[in-house]
Structure 1
Amino acid sequence: MVTRPFNVIQPKNVPEGTPEYEAKRTALLRAFNEKIPQEYYVPEDVVKNPPQDVSGLATTFGILTPEEIEITENYDATSLAEAIAGRKYTAVAVATAFCKRAIVAHQLTCCLTQWFMDEAIEQAKSLDEYLAKNGKTMGPLHGVPVSIKDHMPIAGTYSSMGFFGSIVKNEKDSQLVAILRSLGAVFYCKTNQPQTLMHLESDSHWGRVLNPYNIHLSAGGSTGGEAALIAMKGSILGVGTDIGGSIRGPSAFCGIYGFKPTSYTLPMKDMIAAPFPAELNVLCSIGPMCRSLRDMELFTSNVIAAKPHLEDPRIVPMPWTGLQTPIGGRLKVGVISNDGFIDPQPPVKRAVSWAKELLSDPKYSEILEVKDFTPYDATGAWAKILRMYWPDGGKAMAEHISETGEPIHPLSSWIWKDAEPHGMQTGVDVSNMRWERDAFRIAFAENWNAQDVDVVIGPCFVGPASAHDTAFYWTYTSLYNFIDYPGVVIPTPIKAEKGEVYAQDYKPLSDACAHVKQLWEEGNFEKAPINLQVVARKYHDSQLFGALAILKDVLGLQ
């Protein structure tokens, strides 16, 4: 049989490095490709001449059986766990279905960094044997495949920070992965992320992740591989991290659910191989990306129930009541039309109007109070966070990337350009940053209280998914990392349409706002999904879910 190369769609390649680096990168990709059975290859003509929208292609090649299509399409994680527990499907059948669909999704979107079908099948076999022997499941995620972001250690696999020189072999599971394994989850792949982990385009040494709905757009970052894979139905439940929008941005770009908790709500022990200077002042969170509200609940409630704070004392052992959390009186919802810094692009404004109209329907007046909300000083927050991400001026990261001959990607240099002129900060400088950050947090809380809301709903990003290499402004998500408020992004029925234009009376709120309008007019965002973001106060994660339980029927959420 004649073999052909394993190819992945890349309408815009990542930058090239030195010949030595490119040789090492080619060898890495070849080792990945050699693991893929040829019967799972997507037709060559599709890869060479892809349509703009690849979101529905996975089922059209005859690679998946009818049962595998049913398994991957007709369930969320909650109902799939029930189907496995009820012995409708074996864990092996489910693992096989998602392994096959994931590798198809990778060829269409470049969403994976590792794919370990053989190991997943072995793990699933042991779960099937456990169920047969004991008459019960190992845990609430028994047999549910869970995809994992590349930097998160899984025993026997590799992890990285999105660039070649950071690749390490992991001998043991990180804490969260170990908890998920104990709950019965099956691991089968790891997913692509950005160089540095610090921007909204997942463009690593593995290649550039594509948006399934429009391959000329980003799938977001830093958890873009997860978002694309879930949108392609190659995963039912994934794990992301978020220090500026890295769960919420990709989830919004790809039209799925994503939850960024308050920091130290869920375990991040051993999640990264080296210290991350940004966390001196801006804390990262870890959370689920999935297909439904109840899957976020399933993930969060069971991880918290495992008492991770006993192993990691940084975790705040907050009781979790989630979707069952009572809301006393009417839920007061603030609607954000813009943040005072950047006015969103037209389809986002349509989505906000859609939500506001539904929430303001008089038939909900006994349970909802809706009012306009303007976030406190989004302009100032963006300026501060850009400096605080890089207390070393970005120098160490730039050197570490370049030492292998890897090129620095455009958005990598973009994200540290504001901090670079300040260079390496002293301990006193960093302490002063913290003082500045905390003063901002207090002022934000006072302003929130004065506007008297329980939660806010508004944009996740300045537009739909951005064109490649143009995700410059993530003010709508990074604001809530700076103040450490929890947020969930939710799909809407709104999609970007061809020919949409700004209102005639539009006036830019800033130079960045004018740039965002220019990007809209230069781009093609057709079919990109639009999500909205719901945010609550710090440590009010359960109250956020209680609010979502009320909003679920109003907004038609899953």
Structure 2
Amino acid sequence: MSSKMLPVIQPVPVPSGSAAYEAAREAILGEFAAAVPDQLHLPPSTVQKPPRNVTRIPGECGLLSALDLEITEKHDGYALAKAIASGRFTAVAVATAFAKRAIIAHQLTACLTEWFMDEAIAQAEALDAHLASTGKTVGPLHGVPVSIKAHIPIAGHWSNVGYLSTVKKDRSDCQMVAILRKAGAVFYCKTNQPQAIMHLESTSLYGRVLNPHNINLSAGGSSGGEAALIALRGSVLGVGTDIGGSIRGPAAFCGIYGFKPTSYVLPMKDFLPGGAAAELNILCSTGPMCTSLRDMDLFMSLMASAKPYLEDPRVIPLPWTGLASAPLQNSPPLKVGFMMHDGAIIPQPPVTRALEWARSRLEQTPGFQVQSFEPYQVAQAVKNIRLAYWPDGGRDSRQRLAEAGEPVLPLTEWILADASRGPPLDSFGVLQQRLDRDEFRCNFSQHWESQDVDLVICPSFVGPACAHETAWYWNYTAFWNYVDYPGVVVPTPVTALAKGAEDYASSDPLSEECKHVRRLWREGDFEGAPIDLQVVARRYHDSDLLGGLAALQAALELH
């Protein structure tokens, strides 16, 4: 790379492409670097010899003022909005603090694709002027910085759909960004995602996103840039998307909150130009990634109040009650089912330990009926969804990569493999996938009813954050995309221990995949990786899910 590039920690290099691809990539990264002033560069020694855990560096590097640290470390989005409205902080001070911290986070983890501090400050100045002249805020997010995933259009900024050949500058905001802007959000950066936007590791032409808690581990994908940025407090509220775990996986890997609503509870108009063939049978969702339950609730509430269904009739006009919801129809007690494994892969020891911790806490707390939840044909669902992602056999993806001489990354090959073995589907083949999906959903709905639970608590992934290039097993998130149930991942106090400090209670794997996950556990070093758990409710019971989380809040130490 040219000396004009912004130095970024990259312990595992991204594969190279053709000479033309590398030249185009260097030009893009050069433009990014040119926007970053020298005074916001980390010392070369930090990038060249980083610690394994980089979470303390933003606060200790000396590039942030005391006010910057107070703003970025001691507030969620809800509190920032209150502080700006009351005059405690100006929107300019908040935008400046988060923009500075975001570019520090990028140097530590490659979490960004674009950074535009000057524009953010200009937005904030206009908001401060409005508040000063009218005494009123423009909306519930007045002055709150919001980070946005790379493919989601913001007027005047670059987006891409996971390939160099699709990089373009957008002329207008997409519907969700327009709603956020009207609510007073300040935009200051866009965040990294993987090739094809279809990995549980965010590796792209912009670099490989690292896990702040252990840079030898993945930050997840496809919203991995968002997760790493929020974990480093370079953002407190961001937008991700999820068609197989792309919000929940990275949020769990990085120890933050992430919400995948039921499909089209939130607006996605203009998110992907030309659409995605996968959505013929598996609808994507969008949702918030953040540091608190109340920010999740705030985000959902302001989206519902904007009545996005009037512009896009695909959006379901559900009323939003969120955290204020009564705890589901069958309570008290709240019936919580624990799915300790999915019948295909037993999770690695720290995940089991977190599940046992949560189950014990609820069993000791009045108001909960705790029971086991039996898994339902997860292996079949995962097989079905992987084929449904690529009805064309992956040919469009390979063509987009070939157009720019872009290297096909290992995890792209992996996710394309099943579909690539057969010919593209015709209309009857796509229809058969739809029929199989709908039959499965009906059968699973009956299975859920037979279990008699309000919520299910289960793993977010087969382990903690995985080593780079080993994010193969999406079972615990992709299953819920296949049946289209809403899911939230929430932090726990559990972290992975030092290598060799804990192991599986049972020596019997459930499958070849389960055996492989055990081998990855023995070979890896996951020390310090946080553990999130996933909480799931029935399809379109999204407000009930948040109401259930409000009931779980004290017992599970949520905030």
> CA offsets, 1:448-491, max 9 Å, x none?
10010000001000000011010000100000000000000000
1:446 partner amino acid? Q
Partner residue, 1:222 = 222
Once the 2 structures are TM-superposed, how far is the Cα of residue 5 of structure 1 from its aligned partner? 5.5
Mapped to 2, the partners of 1:127 and 1:343 lie a distance apart of 51
Partner residue, 1:32 = 32
2:353 partner amino acid? R
1:373 aligns to 2:376 (yes or no):
no
Partner residue, 1:14 = 14
Mapped to 2, the partners of 1:387 and 1:6 lie a distance apart of 39
1:344 aligns to 2:347 (yes or no):
yes
Mapped to 1, the partners of 2:536 and 2:77 lie a distance apart of 24
Once the 2 structures are TM-superposed, how far is the Cα of residue 504 of structure 1 from its aligned partner? 5.4
Mapped to 2, the partners of 1:385 and 1:423 lie a distance apart of 17
> CA offsets, 1:88-137, max 9 Å, x none?
00000000000000000000000000000110000000000000011010
1:145 aligns to 2:148 (yes or no):
no
2:522 partner amino acid? E
After TM superposition, which residue ranges in structure 1, 4 or more long, deviate above 3 angstroms?
A: none
Partner residue, 1:309 = 309
- State, as a whole percentage, how many aligned pairs show the same letter: 57
Partner residue, 2:296 = 296
Mapped to 2, the partners of 1:500 and 1:415 lie a distance apart of 33
Mean alpha-carbon deviation: is it higher for 53-62 or for 106-115?
53-62
Partner residue, 1:259 = 259
> CA offsets, 1:381-439, max 9 Å, x none?
11111101110111111111121111010001100101111221000000000000000
Partner residue, 1:503 = 504
Once the 2 structures are TM-superposed, how far is the Cα of residue 209 of structure 1 from its aligned partner? 0.2
Work out whether residues 80 and 144 of structure 2, in 8 Å CA contact, stay in contact via their aligned partners in 1: yes
Q: 1:5 to 1:205 in 2, by over 3 A?
A: closer
Mapped to 2, the partners of 1:163 and 1:469 lie a distance apart of 18
Count of aligned positions:
553
1:431 partner amino acid? L
Work out whether residues 332 and 452 of structure 1, in 8 Å CA contact, stay in contact via their aligned partners in 2: yes
Partner residue, 2:60 = 60
Once the 2 structures are TM-superposed, how far is the Cα of residue 23 of structure 1 from its aligned partner? 1.1
SS state at 1:351 partner: helix
SS state at 1:11 partner: coil
Aligned positions of 1:178-197 closer than 5 A = 178-197=178-197
Which TM-score applies when normalising by structure 2?
A: 0.98
SS state at 2:554 partner: helix
Mapped to 2, the partners of 1:399 and 1:140 lie a distance apart of 43
1:517 partner amino acid? R
Once the 2 structures are TM-superposed, how far is the Cα of residue 4 of structure 1 from its aligned partner? 7.8
> CA offsets, 1:478-511, max 9 Å, x none?
0000000000000000000112343353211111
Mean alpha-carbon deviation: is it higher for 159-168 or for 459-468?
159-168
Mapped to 1, the partners of 2:502 and 2:60 lie a distance apart of 35
Aligned positions of 1:47-446 closer than 5 A = 47-327=47-327, 328-361=331-364, 363-364=365-366, 367-446=367-446
Mapped to 1, the partners of 2:353 and 2:522 lie a distance apart of 17
Partner residue, 2:540 = 539
> CA offsets, 1:291-343, max 9 Å, x none?
00000000000111000000000011011111111124211000011000100
2:531 partner amino acid? I
1:335 partner amino acid? F
SS state at 2:289 partner: strand
Mean alpha-carbon deviation: is it higher for 203-212 or for 272-281?
272-281
Q: How well do the aligned residues superpose, as a CA RMSD in angstroms?
A: 1.0
1:173 partner amino acid? D
Partner residue, 1:467 = 467
Mapped to 2, the partners of 1:251 and 1:396 lie a distance apart of 29
Mapped to 2, the partners of 1:137 and 1:5 lie a distance apart of 39
2:416 partner amino acid? W
Mapped to 1, the partners of 2:406 and 2:539 lie a distance apart of 39
Mapped to 2, the partners of 1:97 and 1:141 lie a distance apart of 16
Q: 1:4 to 1:173 in 2, by over 3 A?
A: closer
Which TM-score applies when normalising by structure 1?
A: 0.98
SS state at 1:59 partner: helix
Partner residue, 1:550 = 551
Mapped to 2, the partners of 1:4 and 1:426 lie a distance apart of 49
> CA offsets, 1:503-553, max 9 Å, x none?
353211111111111111111111000000000000100110110010001
SS state at 1:534 partner: strand
Work out whether residues 346 and 500 of structure 1, in 8 Å CA contact, stay in contact via their aligned partners in 2: no
SS state at 1:326 partner: coil
> CA offsets, 1:1-29, max 9 Å, x none?
xx986200000011100112111111111
Work out whether residues 84 and 90 of structure 2, in 8 Å CA contact, stay in contact via their aligned partners in 1: yes
Mean alpha-carbon deviation: is it higher for 25-34 or for 182-191?
25-34
> CA offsets, 1:42-101, max 9 Å, x none?
010110011100011001121100000000000010011000000000000000000000
Mapped to 2, the partners of 1:302 and 1:265 lie a distance apart of 12
SS state at 2:238 partner: strand
SS state at 2:195 partner: coil
